[in-house]
A = this chain, B = another copy of it.
């Protein structure tokens, strides 16, 4: 598989939507594993790292899930390709900074991704659409079990799996869901909700994980604790919280539709108008406006078959993706903003005008205006 073939649309894993896909974009589970008797990547000398890599990579490539996979040494990837993989959440920002001694293997559907010599020897993740934390864990657990028969994992009978950073010791698992919460944001309820989530020991982060800003009303919610609880229990607790957030978001949307339909329509309409007619747009503005467009599909303002276009735009308007589909060798930020606006305008040309027939507008009534 050629890496550039990844970048023209959203990943195949995202096609089916999945349960609660209007609010939960994706579910992700990752496991951190290390080999016994080898230094962690951060401590390892270059030769150690190369040796570890050559122990692990063939086993990962031999996984039945990895048929026709993309498999690359990090030094073979351009900065642009690495950045695009980060934008697709297939590798971490930390891993993108790596060179010789590290590698990444991604399955054909872009659902399973395994980083070798990131912070740990092995970081593997499964990404599924909608709320499917249990399915993601099951799929990843199967991969992990297979690999455990081939590789000698560093495991301590009391602590569990050993990891480079103590916050990952035990299960080595991080589970997260990417949720789209425009209703809670528009109705000024997002901050109390985030505070409540933090209080019960879960983390709320922006689109690209730790330390990144929330854009496009997208929030990543994940467990913090990896030690002392079985994986199924952690997943189950996170799942409950996400279900509660879905309920809150659905309520917020209903209340907005009933009490402030004008505000809601105005946000969605303006978003559509600007996206359809701008000639320059930053990636941040694009995300924020696409969020309203997505909400517009959810509430029936646009036909459901337009969801796919919006999902694609969320992905391909990110800087590295844009650069990778540009005809020019290197775009400056201004050039990217122009190309981004052009791609969005072209995609939205297929959109019909918003259909507000299902939505009750506030005074004045939607009926005829009286021209004297």
Contacts and interface: CB of A to CB of B under 8 A. Distances in A.
Contact of A277 (B334, B354, B362): B354
Nearest to A363: B335
Interface in A253-287: 262-263, 265-266, 269-270, 272-280
A325 interface: yes
21 contacts: A8-B372, A262-B279, A265-B279, A269-B278, A270-B277, A273-B278, A276-B277, A326-B370, A327-B365, A327-B367, A327-B368, A327-B370, A328-B363, A328-B364, A331-B363, A334-B363, A335-B363, A338-B361, A338-B362, A339-B369, A342-B366
A4 interface: yes
A342 B369 contact: yes
A4 B324 CA distance: 59
- Number of this chain's copies in the complex: 2
Interface string A322-348: 001111100100110011011100100
A278 B276 CA distance: 13
Contacts of A240: none
A218 B342 CA distance: 31
A5 interface: yes
- Which range holds the interface residue count of chain A? 35 or more
Interface of A: 4-5, 7-8, 262-263, 265-266, 269-270, 272-280, 324-328, 331, 334-335, 338-339, 341-343, 346, 354, 361-372
A161 B365 CA distance: 53
Contacts of A274: 270, 273-274
Given A266-B280, A269-B278, A270-B278, 4 more contacts: A272-B273, A277-B354, A327-B365, A338-B362
Contacts of A339: 364, 369
Residue of A5, A270, A372 with highest tally of chain B CB at under 10 A: A270
A105 B57 CA distance: 91
A149 to B, nearest CB: 38
Contacts of A262: 279-280, 334, 338
A-B pairs with lowest CB-CB distance, top 4: A273-B273, A273-B277, A269-B277, A266-B279
B342 A364 contact: yes
Nearest to A267: B279
Given A280-B262, A280-B263, A372-B4, A326 B269 contact: no
Given A335-B363, A338-B363, A361-B338, A8 B371 contact: yes
A272 B280 contact: no
Contacts of A362: 334-335, 338
